[in-house]
Amino acid sequence: MALSVACGAATPSFAGGEVNVYSYRQPELIQPLLDAFTKKTGIETNVLFLDKGLVERIQAEGVNSPADILLTVDIARLVEAKEGGVTQPVLNDPIIEKDIPANLRDPEGEWFGLTTRGRVVYASKERVPQQSITYEELADPKWKGKICIRDGQHSYNIALFASMIAHHGLDYTRTWLTGLKNNLARKPDGTDRSQAKSIYSGECDIALGNTYYVGLMLT
């Protein structure tokens, strides 16, 4: 989860005792954070939630946009917001610089990360004896026909593929993706939880998923 400061509003709402948050994250999930903010500062929060199209909305609103803060849920959307010209470099704050590592802050100060998510390899305890599996190993031919993943165009996977390029280069990642594709048990589809269900049903032995889905499935 990450924050960027939206540009366009002529007068920031927080100057009048409230702040307008445009959020890709459902309001009920961030309400405890907003309540704590209001309790500490006395500033009220107004949340506009959309699961897509917030950048386009701010662009359409232009200088009349009431948005003060854009709350996103993925690095791809951060890039979209910055390249879309809806953020501004005003996050020069000593507390942010002290508490948030530089790799989780935009070099130009237009966004910073609040939380990170762990995207891990799920594996069958019965059929996969290996205790740890790296992203790189997912292309190993020994996993042929054993891997399930969600749509390759999903932002979670795009972020993973981009990280592979950043760490290993384009040629390596192209070969790695070919190996991963060859190891798929089925066409990429579904959600993170459905990948886990596919392991449980025996459709595949290995899948990718965010760690917090485990808690959701346990409850």
Could you report the per-residue pLDDT of 168-196, keeping only the tens digit for each? 999 999 999 999 999 999 999 999 999 99
Residues 199-215 as b or e (16 or more Cβ within 10 Å = b): beeeebbbbbbeeebee
- The pTM of the full predicted model, rounded to 2 decimals, is 0.75
The CATH number given to 119-218 is 3.40.190.10
> Strand, coil or helix: what is 203?
coil
Within 10 angstroms of residue 113's Cβ, the number of other Cβ atoms is: 17
Contact (Cβ atoms closer than 8 angstroms) between residue 146 and residue 204: yes
Residue 51: predicted pLDDT: 85
Q: What is the mean pLDDT of residues 123-144?
A: 96
Q: Using one digit for the tens of pLDDT, what is the confidence trace for 52-82?
A: 889 999 999 998 899 999 998 877 888 889 9
Q: 2-113 and 119-218: same fold?
A: yes
Predicted pLDDT at 216: 80
Task: Return d(Cα 117, Cα 212) in angstroms, integer.
Answer: 8
Strands 2-5 and 111-113: antiparallel
pLDDT, residue 91, reads 65
93: pLDDT confidence band, cut at 50, 70 and 90? confident
Residue 2 has pLDDT above 80, yes or no: no
Average pLDDT taken over every residue of the chain: 89
Task: Please tell me the distance from the alpha carbon of residue 21 to that of residue 170, in angstroms, as a whole number.
Answer: 37
Q: Where are the domains of the chain?
A: 2-113, 119-218
Taking a C-beta distance cutoff of 8 angstroms, is the pair 145, 185 a contact? Answer: yes
Confidence of residue 10 (pLDDT cuts 50, 70, 90): very low
Query: Whole-angstrom Cα distance, residue 92 to residue 105?
Result: 11
Determine the topology of domain 2-113 in CATH. Answer: D-Maltodextrin-Binding Protein; domain 2 (3.40.190)
